[in-house]
Amino acid sequence: MRRDIFQAIADPTRRAIIALIALQAMTPNAIAENFNTTRQAVSKHLRILTECELVKQESQGREIYYSLEIEKMKEIDKWLEQYRKIWETRFNQLDQVLSNLKKQNK
C-alpha cells in the first residue's frame, strides 16, 4: 500500500520524529530515546515516513541513519501555500474592518 505524505504527518509522533531529524541525521535508537514508546513502535513510524519518502536512510558502517528529505517536505509547503494566501487575505480584511471601527470610535 502506497502511503500519502499527509497520512504520514497526521500522526504527532511522526511529526516529532521529523522535527528531530530535521536538525541532524539520527539512528533509530537515538530517535527512540526521545519517546516514551518501544523501539519497534519508532521503527514502524520510520518505515511509514520512509515509504512516504519524507525521510531517507543512509548506512554508515553497521548503523542506519535517518534524515529528512527536504524536497518531499516542499510538497507539503506547496499544498499549504494555497491556504496561506486565503488566510493572509482574510487577515488583511479583518485588519481593514478593525481600522474602520477604530476610526469610527474616535
The 10s digit of each residue's pLDDT in 17-41 is 999 999 999 999 999 999 999 999 9
- pLDDT value for 58: 95
Domains of the chain: 5-104 (1.10.10.10)
Q: How confident is the model at residue 4 (pLDDT cuts 50, 70, 90)?
A: confident
Q: How far apart are CA 50 and CA 81, in angstroms?
A: 24
Bridge partners of residue 66, in order along the sequence? 26, 57
In Å, how far are 1, 5, 35, 48, 99 from 51, measured between CA atoms? 9, 9, 21, 5, 49
The 10s digit of each residue's pLDDT in 35-85 is 999 999 999 999 999 999 999 999 999 999 999 999 888 988 998 998 988
Q: Provide the whole-model pTM.
A: 0.77
